[in-house]
Structure 1
Amino acid sequence: MKKAGIIMIIGSLLLLGLFKFPLWNIMLGAPQYPDPLGMDIYIQGIEGVQEFDIQNIDGLNHYIGMRTIPKVEDMWEFRVFPAVVGIMVALGVIIGLLGFFGKLSYKWFLGWFVLMSVLGIMGMYDFNLWLIDYGTNLDPKAIMKLENLDGTPMSYKPPLLGYQKMLNFDVDSWPGAGAYMIFAGMMLTVVAFFVGKSAIKKHINAA
């Protein structure tokens, strides 16, 4: 179980990358913008890929009635998510240490993975709800009011994942480095589970 415990600890600590690297990235490209505009979404807030990207995106959004990019104080998620990640890292390290010293079952490694998966799904669901609200809850007094062919107001919701054409903009939405670190860390906890399971079986067979 010692090896499994070490792997579990490393996997959990990889989540700390979320405090340094973006969780998600959204890029907007158009003929009038040779250098695409971009947003890096962190668990603590949203930053422009380049210095003036947020300012330029807000300027574009003003014409079609979209709200400005939210600041940290505008969204509870930017206060809650860092705390949740910190708790999960601490919990994973504690479970790993207890596994290392043989104080608990390897099944706890899988339990941490399941809990983290549930939290991740809830986070993505919340993120998608924000994108829907951001792209559809438009100012009725906007300078430009564009409609679909059926007369309904056009939605400017960016894709949750992948590429989408919006007016003359090419919009790409993909995981950032932080998301890949989460994935790698979670996969390591699964590896820890199987390593621990194998170690227990060998111990039983040898007894």
Structure 2
Amino acid sequence: MKAYTKVLMIVAALSLGLLFMFPMWKIYLQAPQYPEGLELHIWVNKLAGSSESVLQNFNILNHYIGMEPIHADSFAELQYMPYIVLFFIVTGVLIGLAGKNKLVLGWSLLLLVSGAAGILDFYLWLVKFGTNLSPTAPIKVPGMTYIPPLLGSKTLLNFEALSLPGLGSLGIFLGITISLLVFLLNRKTAGKAQTATTKHALV
């Protein structure tokens, strides 16, 4: 590996640090009771909001339609996800220093699969909370579920929900994109070197 591709691989690994600096995902909710809107932030290790009362207000609204209260303790993933991210950061830096292109590809694909698994897990959260409704809810509509959108907007009775990636997710995108670029650049360089060696041998 060339020196600059080693640096790029290290940058790819360190990009995942954005997950500790910004939320991974954001859910916006508007309702007549809260015309200014509520903004729930999902971090790699916690749930928070644009203000301290956001999570409480989300749970108040959820109570009316029979949803379970949302608490960080309900999600075991928030306990171990930080360690998974740290694993990718450390191994990515070590792979960059080692300069092994096959390891770069393996790291990229594993990060891609882990990111896809995270999105699937998030969707299953939404399904669980949107369909596991209390039969004693103040507001009951037969056959109605309240699954927030995984991505984009959705109307749920008189609620408007919008779900979008946060800046933390940019770290995963950069990690995958830059590391795949490193792999392709290294393969191209290796191919040129092989061609030059073959020509030299024929002369």
* TM-score, with structure 2 as normaliser: 0.91
Q: Which residue type is aligned with residue 29 of structure 1?
A: Q
Match of residue 51 from structure 1: 52
| 1:174 and 2:164 correspond | yes
Match of residue 83 from structure 1: 83
d(CA) in 2 for partners of 1:12, 1:131: 29
110, 124, 138: which is aligned to 2:133? 138
Q: How much has 1:62 moved relative to structure 2?
A: 1.0
Q: Which stretches of structure 1, 4 residues or longer, exceed 4 Å deviation after superposition? A: none
d(CA) in 2 for partners of 1:145, 1:138: 9
90, 114, 121: which is aligned to 1:119? 114
Match of residue 95 from structure 1: 95
Superposed CA offset, 1:2-26 (max 9, x none): 2211111100110011011100000
8 Å CA contact 1:28–1:38 kept in 2: the answer is yes
Superposed CA offset, 1:135-165 (max 9, x none): 1101111122122xxxx2x111101111101
SS for the counterpart of 1:158 is coil
1:1-207 equivalences under 5 Å are: 1=1, 2-71=3-72, 73-99=73-99, 104=100, 106-147=101-142, 152=143, 154-207=144-197
Q: How much has 1:31 moved relative to structure 2?
A: 4.0
The alignment's C-alpha RMSD in Å is: 1.4
SS for the counterpart of 2:8 is helix
8 Å CA contact 1:18–1:178 kept in 2: the answer is yes
Q: How much has 1:107 moved relative to structure 2?
A: 2.5
8 Å CA contact 1:3–1:195 kept in 2: the answer is no
SS for the counterpart of 1:172 is strand
d(CA) in 1 for partners of 2:132, 2:33: 26
Q: How much has 1:117 moved relative to structure 2?
A: 0.9
- 5+ residue gaps, structure 2: 198-203
> Matched residues, percent identical?
41
d(CA) in 2 for partners of 1:61, 1:75: 17
- 5+ residue gaps, structure 1: none
8 Å CA contact 2:18–2:170 kept in 1: the answer is no
d(CA) in 2 for partners of 1:56, 1:75: 19
Q: Which residue type is aligned with residue 200 of structure 1?
A: A
CA shift in 2, pair 1:32/1:62, >3 Å: closer
Q: How much has 1:199 moved relative to structure 2?
A: 2.3
